C-alpha cells in the first residue's frame, strides 16, 4: 500500500501489564507518521488507519493471487461501454463510529466518498499523499483543484463534474481516459468516505481525530507511543470469507466462514523500535506474532530455513511467505555529485548485493533480477540487470566520472530510515563497500518521519529505498519515476525522462497483454540505463505465531486483517 518509502513492520507486543485474553497486541518498528487516511503512505501508519477506515473494496483475505471483493460497495460497479463512467452502489445501513464529529447513527452516503477524493486534490490538505491516484484522470478534478486551492468554503460549494451522487447510495465517477486500476484505487484507504460535517468540525485536520466505519474504533493515539482500539459493536461491512486458496484450505482457515466480524474485543498498537525487545516478549508469550528480522534468524531458524526444535516446543508456528516488497539503492538526480551517471555505475558495481542479502536477510531474500517484483503480470523471471559486483569495473567507472580512486570526490551522505541498530549496520555496510574503491560515505541516522520529510523536500543524496505494492500491477511500480510524482510526490529521485513519460502515458491505460508487456520492457531498459536506482532484493518474510492466534494469513498489502483474527486459550 501506499508509499512507502518502506519501513519494515515488526508485528510484536508490549511489556505492559494488562488483561490480554481479549486484546491483540502488536508492535510497530517506528513512529506513526499520521492517522489521516489522505496522508498515510507508509507501512506503519497503514495499520492504525485501516482498522478505523474502510473503502469500497478490499482484497480477499484468503486468496492468492490477490483479488478484490466488495466492502462498502454493493457488488461490482456498472461500467459504460467506453470504459469512462463507473457507477457504484453503496451498501445501506453502514454506520460511522460514535463521535462528536457526526450525529449518532450517521450512515455512509455516496457524497462522503466524493468528499474524500476532493480532500486528496485539495491543496489545503497539506499532507495529502494520494492525489497521484486521480491526477489528470477524473473529469474536472484538476480544474477544481486549481480553482479551489486552499479555500475550504469553495471546497464544498464547487462541484467536480466527474464526481456525482445521484442519491445517497449511488456514486458515479467519470474519467477522461481508461483507468484499469480504478478499482484498486477504490480499495485503498485514500478513498475512504469522510462526512462533510466532520471536515467542517475539524477544519479538515484529521491528524488527531478519526471518523470511520471499520471493525475497530480508535480510543487513544500518540504518534510516538501507539494507539488503542475497541470493537465497533455495530460493524456490518463484511463477514469472514467463505472462500480461500489451497494454502488457506490446508491450514483450516475457513472454519469461521460467514461469521460476524470482528472476533477480538481490543487491539493495542505499541511503538517498539528495538527488535530484541519484541523477540523477548514473544518468547515470554506476551505477544501474539512477530515478523522475523535478521537479528532473530540465528536463534529461531536452522540454516535451511526451518524452525529450531527448541522453538517448536513452545507451540510456535512458522509461515514463510513471498511478498510484494522490494528494495533498491536510490539517488537524488538533482544532486551535483550522484547525478553523474558514472558515479552511479561505480556504486552499482561496488556493492556486493549477495553479501548484503546474506548478512541482513540470512539469505531469506531473493536477489532482484528486474525493476519489477515477482507476483505482477509482466514480470520476467529470466530478466537480468546490467550491473554486478565487480570492484575493478567500479573503479573504472569512478575514473570515468573524473574521480580516479575517489580523488576529488566529496564525501557522500547515505541516509538510513531508522535509528535502530540494524539500520545503522546497513548504512555502515554501504560505507565499507564503497570505501574499497575510494568513495567516503557519511551515514546519516534519521527517525522514519524525519527520513520521509527529507525525502519529500529533496534533501537526500542517496539512500536505501523500498516499495510495498499498493496493488499487483506494473503501473504501481512505474509511477514512482514519473514527472507528476516529483517531490513532494514519491519520485524522490527527481528522475525525468521524456521517453519514459511517453511510454507511461500509454501503459497506465492498458490491460495486461502483449503491448503492455512490451512497454514495460522498454521502460525497464531506460531505468537500467540511467540508474535512478540500483535494485537489491525482493523480500520474503518469516512470521512466527503462537498457537492461540487463529485465522492468521500473512499479507504485505492487506492491513485491515485484525478483524479476521481470533484468540483462543490465550
Model confidence pLDDT, tens digit, residues 245-266? 999 999 999 999 999 999 999 9
Residue 36: per-residue pLDDT? 98
H-helix or E-strand containing 79? strand 78-79
Residue 29: per-residue pLDDT? 86
Say how many C-beta atoms besides its own lie within 10 A of residue 459's C-beta: 15
Q: Give Dmax over CA atoms of the chain in angstroms.
A: 71
> Whose CA is closest to 267, among 459, 109, 51, 422?
51
Q: Is 546 left (phi over 0), alpha (psi -120 to 50) or beta?
A: beta
Average pLDDT over residues 396-417: 98
Q: Measure Cα distances from 323 to 84, 326, 345, 557 in Å.
A: 33, 8, 28, 9
For residue 10, pLDDT beyond 50: no
The C-alpha cell at 33 is: 507518521
Banded model confidence at residue 20, pLDDT cuts 50, 70, 90: low
Domains assigned to the chain: 23-263+548-567 (3.40.190.10), 323-540 (3.10.105.10)
Q: Encode 403-419 in three state secondary structure.
A: CHHHCCCCCEEEECCCC
Of 198 and 358, the structure prediction assigns the larger pLDDT to 198
Q: In DSSP terms, which residues pair with 222 in a beta bridge? A: 226
For residue 527, pLDDT beyond 50: yes
Say if CB 555 and CB 59 are below 8 A apart.
Answer: yes
Of 286 and 146, the structure prediction assigns the larger pLDDT to 146
**Nearest-10 Cα torsion for 190, 193, 195, 201:** -30
For residue 215, report the phi and psi dihedrals to the nearest 5 degrees: -65, -20
Distance from the Cα of residue 292 to its chain's centroid: 18
Place of cell 505492559: 16
Strand order in the sheet with 170-174: 78-79, 85-89, 170-174, 163-167
Say if CB 117 and CB 140 are below 8 A apart.
Answer: no
Say if CB 63 and CB 244 are below 8 A apart.
Answer: yes
Banded model confidence at residue 357, pLDDT cuts 50, 70, 90: very high
For residue 445, pLDDT beyond 60: yes
Question: How many residues are listed for the chain in this entry?
Answer: 570
d(CA 207, CA 202): 9
Say if CB 468 and CB 325 are below 8 A apart.
Answer: yes
Say how many C-beta atoms besides its own lie within 10 A of residue 176's C-beta: 14
d(CA 229, CA 298): 34
Name every residue whose Cβ is closer than 8 Å to that of residue 220 and which is 6 or more positions away in sequence.
227, 228
For residue 19, pLDDT beyond 60: no
Q: What is the pTM (predicted TM-score) of this model?
A: 0.83
For residue 9, pLDDT beyond 60: no
**What is the chain's percent helix, strand, coil content, to nearest 5?**
30, 20, 50
Residue 389: per-residue pLDDT? 98
Say if CB 153 and CB 122 are below 8 A apart.
Answer: no
Average pLDDT over residues 552-560: 95
Mean pLDDT across the chain, nearest whole number? 93
Model confidence pLDDT, tens digit, residues 301-325? 887 778 888 888 778 999 888 889 9
Amino acid at each position: 500500500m501506499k508509499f512507502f518509502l518502506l519501513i519494515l513492520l515488526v508485528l510484536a507486543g508490549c511489556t505492559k501489564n494488562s488483561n490480554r485474553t481479549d486484546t491483540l497486541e502488536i508492535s510497530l518498528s517506528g513512529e506513526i507518521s499520521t492517522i489521516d487516511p489522505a496522508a498515510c503512505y507508509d507501512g506503519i501508519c497503514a495499520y492504525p488507519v485501516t482498522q478505523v477506515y474502510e473503502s469500497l473494496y478490499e482484497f480477499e483475505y484468503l486468496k492468492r493471487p490477490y483479488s478484490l471483493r466488495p466492502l462498502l460497495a454493493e457488488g461490482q460497479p456498472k461500467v459504460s461501454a467506453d470504459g469512462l463512467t463507473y457507477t457504484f452502489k453503496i451498501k445501506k445501513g453502514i454506520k460511522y463510529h460514535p463521535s462528536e464529529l457526526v450525529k449518532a447513527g450517521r450512515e455512509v452516503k455516496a457524497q462522503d466518498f466524493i468528499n474524500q477524493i476532493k480532500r486528496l486534490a485539495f491543496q489545503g490538505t497539506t499532507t495529502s499523499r494520494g492525489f497521484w491516484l486521480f491526477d489528470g484522470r477524473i473529469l474536472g478534478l484538476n480544474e477544481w483543484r486549481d480553482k479551489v486551492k486552499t479555500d475550504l468554503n469553495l471546497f464544498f460549494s464547487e462541484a467536480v463534474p466527474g464526481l456525482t451522487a445521484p442519491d445517497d447510495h449511488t456514486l458515479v465517477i467519470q474519467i477522461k481516459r481508461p483507468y484499469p486500476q480504478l478499482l484498486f484505487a477504490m480499495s485503498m484507504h485514500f478513498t475512504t468516505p469522510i462526512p462533510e460535517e466532520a471536515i467542517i468540525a475539524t477544519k479538515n485536520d484529521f491528524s488527531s481525530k478519526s471518523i470511520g466505519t471499520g471493525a475497530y474504533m480508535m480510543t487513544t493515539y500518540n504518534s510516538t507511543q501507539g494507539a488503542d482500539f475497541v470493537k465497533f459493536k455495530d460493524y456490518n461491512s463484511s463477514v469472514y470469507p467463505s472462500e480461500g486458496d489451497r494454502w488457506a484450505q490446508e491450514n483450516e482457515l475457513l472454519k469461521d466462514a460467514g461469521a460476524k466480524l470482528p472476533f477480538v474485543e481490543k487491539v493495542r498498537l505499541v511503538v517498539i523500535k528495538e527488535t530484541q525487545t519484541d523477540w523477548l516478549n514473544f518468547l515470554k508469550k506476551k505477544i501474539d506474532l512477530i515478523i522475523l528480522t535478521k537479528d532473530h534468524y540465528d536463534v529461531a531458524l536452522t540454516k535451511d530455513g526451518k524452525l529450531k526444535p527448541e522453538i517448536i516446543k513452545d507451540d510456535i508456528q512458522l509461515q514463510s511467505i513471498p511478498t510484494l516488497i522490494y528494495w533498491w539503492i536510490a539517488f537524488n538526480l538533482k544532486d551535483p555529485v550522484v547525478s553523474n551517471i558514472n558515479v552511479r555505475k561505480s556504486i552499482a558495481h561496488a556493492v556486493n548485493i549477495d553479501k548484503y542479502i546474506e548478512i541482513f536477510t540470512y539469505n531469506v531474500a531473493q536477489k532482484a533480477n528486474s525493476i519489477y517484483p515477482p507476483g505482477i503480470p509482466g514480470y520476467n523471471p529470466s530478466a537480468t540487470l546490467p550491473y554486478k559486483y565487480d570492484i575493478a569495473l567500479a573503479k573504472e567507472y569512478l575514473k570515468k566520472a573524473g574521480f580516479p580512486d575517489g580523488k576529488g570526490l566529496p564525501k557522500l551522505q547515505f541516509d538510513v530510515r531508522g535509528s535502530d541498530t540494524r539500520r545503522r549496520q546497513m548504512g555502515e555496510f554501504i560505507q565499507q563497500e564503497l570505501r574499497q574503491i575510494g568513495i567516503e560515505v557519511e551515514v546519516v541516522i534519521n527517525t522514519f518521519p524525519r527520513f520521509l520529510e527529507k525525502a519529500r523536500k529533496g534533501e537526500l543524496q542517496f539512500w536505501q529505498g523500498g516499495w510495498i505494492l499498493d496493488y499487483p500491477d506494473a503501473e504501481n511500480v512505474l509511477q514512482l519515476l514519473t514527472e507528476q510524482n516529483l517531490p513532494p510526490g514519491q519520485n524522490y529521485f527527481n528522475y525525468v525522462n521524456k521517453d519514459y513519460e511517453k511510454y507511461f502515458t500509454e501503459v497506465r491505460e492498458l490491460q495486461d497483454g502483449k503491448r503492455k508487456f512490451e512497454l514495460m520492457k522498454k521502460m525497464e531498459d531506460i531505468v537500467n540505463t540511467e540508474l535512478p536506482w540500483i535494485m537489491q532484493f525482493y523480500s520474503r518474510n518469516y512470521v512466527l505465531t503462537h498457537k492461540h492466534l487463529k485465522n492468521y494469513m500473512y499479507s504485505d498489502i492487506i492491513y485491515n486483517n485484525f478483524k479476521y483474527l481470533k484468540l483462543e486459550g490465550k
